[in-house]
Amino acid sequence: MAAPSTDAALSTAVVRPPDLDALAGRLARAAGRLRRRLNRQVRAGMDSDPLPEAQLEILRLVNRRPGIRVHDVAAELGLASNTVSTLVHRLTDTGFVDRLSDAGDGRVARLRLRPVAEVRLQRWRDRRGEILAARLAELGRDDREALTRALPVLERIVDSLDEEAAGAEPELAALPEGPNDG
């Protein structure tokens, strides 16, 4: 007898209560809506031409990991290397990113933000912080405390998803570590 397909094995291996499916759906919708609406409001308040979201994601990643290779950017963002290479070329042409040859292997390009990109990301973070702080100030104390208690759980979920994408065994019990990506 043939072994069951991976999809069949996964569909029978995990049985979730319906309330978890509903919670997962609500969480995904709320997170997506928050990110999209916040990005729109930040873009509307910026005095410079908005960058496409994919380019912003690359800038944020290079900011977190100066010297990252183009190949590693593609892997981290789940994009094709040629797509990332094209986006990096545009960011280089607009003066946001420098492509530097690796000292050990001249075939490898390492990425570094230029000061103009650092300033732009900081303005983005500042504007996003202003918008969110204004909304948080509208909440009651109990709601702000509930949100504060929920943040470590949300961060562990994100860390678990990152670990799974990287091929590691997800560990939801661990508290998140690492810098804020802006």
Return the pLDDT at 168: 58
Q: Which two tokens stand for residue 167?
A: 């091929």
Two tokens at 116? 């103009």
d(CA 175, CA 172): 8
Q: What is the pLDDT of residues 43-85, one digit of tens each?
A: 887 777 778 888 999 999 999 999 999 989 998 888 898 999 9
Tokens 């000292």 sit on residue: 103
> Residue 175 gets which letter from DSSP?
P
Q: Map out the domains of the chain as residue ranges.
A: 49-137, 139-175
**What is the pLDDT at residue 17?**
76
**Quick one: pLDDT band at residue 14, thresholds 50, 70, 90?**
low
Q: What is the pLDDT of residues 130-166, one digit of tens each?
A: 999 999 999 999 999 999 999 999 999 988 988 887 7
Whether this model's pTM surpasses 0.75: no
49-137: CATH topology? Arc Repressor Mutant, subunit A (1.10.10)
Distance of CA 44 to the CA centre of its chain: 21
Range with the lowest mean pLDDT among 1-15, 116-130, 160-174?
Answer: 1-15
What one-character DSSP code corresponds to residue 48?
A: S
- 179 backbone dihedrals φ, ψ, rounded to 5°: -75, 160
Q: Is the dihedral of CA 19, 22, 25, 27 positive or negative?
A: negative
Q: Give the list of residues 6+ apart from residue 74 with CB closer than 8 angstroms, or none.
A: 80, 81, 83, 84
pLDDT at 4 over 90: no
